[in-house]
Amino acid sequence: MPQRLCSLCLLLAALFLAACGEEERPVKVSLDKRQEITARPQLPAITYAYLPQYSHTESFQRHQQLVEYLADETGLPIRQVFPDTFAHHIGMFGQGKIDISFSNPFVYVSLANRYGAKAMARIVEEDGRAEFRGQIIARRDNEAIQSVEDCRGKSWVAVDPSSAGGYLFPLGHFVDHGLTLRDFKEVVFAGGRQENVILGVYAGLHDLGSIREGSLKVVADKIDIAQIKVVANSRWYPGWVYAYSPRLPQEKADKIRDALLKLDYAHDPRHRAILDAAKFIGFVPSEDRDFDPIRELSHKVGLDLE
């Protein structure tokens, strides 16, 4: 009997112990022991900014490796900064907070016109070109539109008022052929999405659409793109460009350009990884006059890039 009682007690004790579980041992910390603190100032570095086409995170992820590569390659301290908007980007460049700007040609022209930015390299996109152009599309069965002139009085759906390939380049092309915005029945914008433009035309909602060349491939798995015909292509314009601030010493700018041009997508896997993250495949040297067509275009379509 006593043994039975003992075992019962032991069992109960075990249960109670199990119920308690292991207890964490806290670290003693005083929250009342306060001290005013200040952040240590950042070290001076060359600032690198990507025109905020995407979120900071996306910008960071695309360019972080490239920035690190440039810093390693040139031995210069380079730091990516993140302007919130295009205007902010331009403003920061003007304020000298951006030393190296990676932007589209229109922004570059603005920067060059306003703050003396100097182009140093253009990117080569995945199609292997450093230029791009716009396309005017219509339904293949739309017999009424066979040429640019046929677009007169028709409904035009464009990507966005600020879209280069999806609006400005085709608009320049229309202007070259004597059509202004007033010559269209309507000009509708598709909210910045190339696909919406193609789908709008495909569905017959609009007579014609304007897209950046290459966009049709994107929707090939969604619609029968054979039903879409390209009415006309705009001329080639230069693509995205790296420019440097006139404040940046020339030798540093040269170092950076050399480093950029040194990137070899085809043969160096490390470079390939860097370029894959940045979503282009290489660089070509560039200078300011490469962007004269943009200046012309802005003049044609009444875009103020000053």
Partner 1 sequence: MSNHLLQAFHGLRFRTKITLGMTLMLIFCGLSIGLILSAMSSKALLEEGKKRGMALSSGLAFRLTEPLLAMDFLQMKNLIDNVHSQYGDIIYIFLTDTRGNILSHTFSGGFPTDLLGINEDSRTTQPLLLTTERGLVYDFNVRVVLGEKSLGTVRMGLSRSDMDAQIGQQRLISLLTTLGVVSLGIILALWFARTVTRRLNRLRASAEEIVKGNLDVQAGTSLEKNCWEIMECGKHDCPAYGDARRRCWYLAGTLCPNCQGKEYPLKIESCRSCPVFRYNFGDELQDLAEAFDVMAVTVKNHIEELTEREKTIARQQGLLKTIMNVTPDFITLQDKELTYRFASKAFCDHFRLKEEEVVGKTDFDIFSERQADLNYHEDKQILITGQPLAKEITFKRPEGQKWFHIVKVPVYDQDGSIMGLLLTARDISVLKKFQEQLIQSQKMEDLGRLAGGVAHEINTPLGIILGYTQLLMDDITDEELLDNLKVVEKQTKVCRKIVADLLGFSRHSHSVREAVDINASLREVIQLVEHAFFLNRIKIVFRPDETIPALTGDRERLKQVWLNLLNNAADAIGQDGLISVQTGHGGHGQIVVSVADTGMGVDRDHLNKIFDPFFTTKQVGKGTGLGLSVSFGIIKEHGGTISALSPPPEEYLPSGLPRSEPAGPGTVFVAELPVSGRAVQ
Name the residues that contact partner 1, by CB under 8 A.
Answer: 1-2, 5, 12, 15-16, 18-21, 24-37, 39-40, 55-57, 59-61, 64, 80-84
Least distance to partner 1, CB of residue 190, Å: 27
Least distance to partner 1, CB of residue 4, Å: 9
Least distance to partner 1, CB of residue 86, Å: 15
Select 71 or 168, whichever has its Cβ closest to partner 1: 71
Select 68 or 176, whichever has its Cβ closest to partner 1: 68
Least distance to partner 1, CB of residue 249, Å: 25
CA dist list (Å): 267 to 4, 264, 271, 275: 80, 6, 8, 12
Block residue for tokens 């952040």: 39
Q: What are phi and psi of 100, to 5 degrees?
A: -125, 125
Distance CA 241, CA 28 (A): 56
What letter would DSSP give residue 26?
P
Select 19 or 226, whichever has its Cβ closest to partner 1: 19
Select 61 or 250, whichever has its Cβ closest to partner 1: 61
CA dist list (Å): 100 to 156, 197, 211: 37, 34, 29
Query: How many alpha carbons lie under 13 Å from residue 10 in its C-beta half-sphere?
Result: 6
Closest CA to 151 of 189, 169, 177: 177
Least distance to partner 1, CB of residue 66, Å: 13
Select 37 or 226, whichever has its Cβ closest to partner 1: 37
